[in-house]
Amino acid sequence: MSPDLLMIASFLLALLLGVPVAIALGLGGVVGIVTGLSPDMLATMGTNTYNSVAKYPLIAIPLFILTGLIFERAGVAASLVRFAQAIIGPRHGGLAVVAVLVCLIMGGMSGSGPADAAAVAMVMLPSMRKAGYPQPFSATLIAASSSTAILIPPSIALILYSIVVPGVDLRALFAAGLFPGILAGLSLLVPALWLSRKHGWEDPEASERPPIWESFKAAIPALFAPIIILGGLRSGLFTPTEAAVVAVTYGVIVGSLIYRNIGFKDLFDLTTDAAVTSGVVMLIIALAGIFAWAGTTLGTFQHLAEALLSLSESGWVLLLLVMLLVLLAGMLLDAVSIYLILIPIVLPLMQHFDWNPVWFGILLAMNIAIGQFTPPVAVNLMVTTRIAGIRLEHTIGWALIFIVAMACSLLLVMLVPGIALWLPEKLGYVVGPW
């Protein structure tokens, strides 16, 4: 067996045996180095792991993770839910609309789907259950809606994509993700509203509309968070990494002084949780450096790209194949692992067919978002079902409906690249070809 196949086979075998993704990547890289190069080349492991994480933009990842945890603990979701209820009012499907809108806004604060899913589910699930919504439906809708956090800036996944793909402007990616993220959220509303009206969920006469002005005043601090982050980026006041620092600072001020739900001990606990989560992400990135170096040196990724190119001469056919591959990967792996594993393989395809890297990055993110609520792994769905106290398999039927809905929005962005590229072009960011 060739070193290429041995490297890939050892990585896949480790995953099947339940080995953590980070360790499986490092193990696959070691096998590739030993069998295809020389055991002496194992001396490069330290340099490769360090070079993988010693990148300034990566500082934003732990900071945005901390931001998400702070806003979740601060009770921001509750104020946003009340304000959204005041706007939407009592109607069939009203709470479903509220859930989607709040998830979209929360995505503009943390960039983390699981964090948003937890925050919104804690507030929305009791209200939706009282209004007559089935718990499996509510849990699935919130899981699907919170997956848009991977698209709505600031997105942790897009930060990583800008690092893995050379020459891509992170600000352009952030701007490009806004409209597709909103489109993905709106696509979920179509089946949610239809099902709500069909089954008569949420009697308009059984609930009262919160006062708009009072709920708006309570939600102002939360609504300002994405405005400060995105406004600062657009004005050039701070870089994406500096925006993460601003977001943490603003979250601490809002949580401790305005909502007063965060104390000193809470900050210590939140920082610890963020450090643990960030450590896992950074470990994956570090050990993926060994895998990436081995694959590049052996030519493994180039060989895989050539194999894909041999399947068809049509760029659209290969784009669909890549999207199916990413969807399958999204059902099993997290976004960080998918980017680190698949980008080196598809990068030659992007260059061969001259796919716009910003547009392609958004397509990948939308596809991974679908994977976040697609069983068997479905990280967002695991969070919401745990909070709802139901089994994951009870949500499969509802998940299929929302998968189809979001896949339609993905197809639309695929066919009309301007949905993603219009805003960054309008803002003057670099979105051109290689």
Indicate the pTM of the whole model.
Answer: 0.85
Q: What is the mean pLDDT of residues 345-371?
A: 90
Residue 177: how many CA atoms within 13 Å on its side-chain side?
A: 33
Question: Are 66 and 266 a contacting pair, CB within 8 Å?
Answer: no
pLDDT(408) > 90: yes
Can you say how many angstroms the Cα of residue 83 is from the centroid of all Cα atoms in its chain? 25
Please choose, from the candidates 278, 280, 281, 288, the residue with its C-alpha nearest in 3D space to the C-alpha of residue 24: 288
Q: What is the mean pLDDT of residues 367-387?
A: 85
pLDDT band at 432 (very low <50, low <70, confident <90, very high): low
Q: Give the pLDDT of residue 145.
A: 93
pLDDT band at 433 (very low <50, low <70, confident <90, very high): low
- Tokens, residue 359: 């547009």
Per-residue pLDDT tens digits for 176-233: 999 999 999 999 999 999 998 888 887 776 667 788 888 888 888 888 888 887 788 7
pLDDT(114) > 70: yes
Three-class SS state of 310: coil
Q: What whole-number distance in Å separates Cα of residue 317 and Cα of residue 294?
A: 29
